[in-house]
Amino acid sequence: MTRRLIANFLLGFSLFVVSPISSPPVAMAQTQTQESDLEPFKQVELDRSLAIRALDAYVALKGSVPADQFENLFDEGNEEKLVTLVPGFHKILVDNGFADEDRWIEALQSVVIAYEGLQDGTQEENQRALEDLKSDQSLPPEQKQQLILMLQSMIPSENNMSVVKGLMSDPETNNKLSQVVEEM
Tell me which of 1-10, 87-96, 114-123 is least confident: 1-10
What pLDDT, on the 0 to 100 scale, is given for residue 116? 92
User: pLDDT over 70 for what percent of the chain?
Assistant: 78
What pLDDT, on the 0 to 100 scale, is given for residue 37? 61
**How does pLDDT run across 87-118, given as a tens digit for each residue?**
899 999 999 999 999 999 999 999 999 999 99
Q: Name the amino acid, one letter, at 22.
A: S
CA torsion angle for 122, 123, 128, 131 (degrees, to 10)? 140
- Name the region of 38 (left: φ>0; alpha: ψ -120 to 50; beta: rest): beta
The per-residue b/e assignment along 34-54, b for 16 or more CB within 10 angstroms, e otherwise, is eeeebbebebbebeeebbbbb
**How does pLDDT run across 47-81, given as a tens digit for each residue?**
999 999 999 999 999 999 998 888 888 776 677 88
**How does pLDDT run across 133-163, given as a tens digit for each residue?**
899 999 899 999 999 998 899 899 999 999 9
Name the phi and psi angles at 41, rounded to 5.
-70, 140
* DSSP conformation class of 152: H
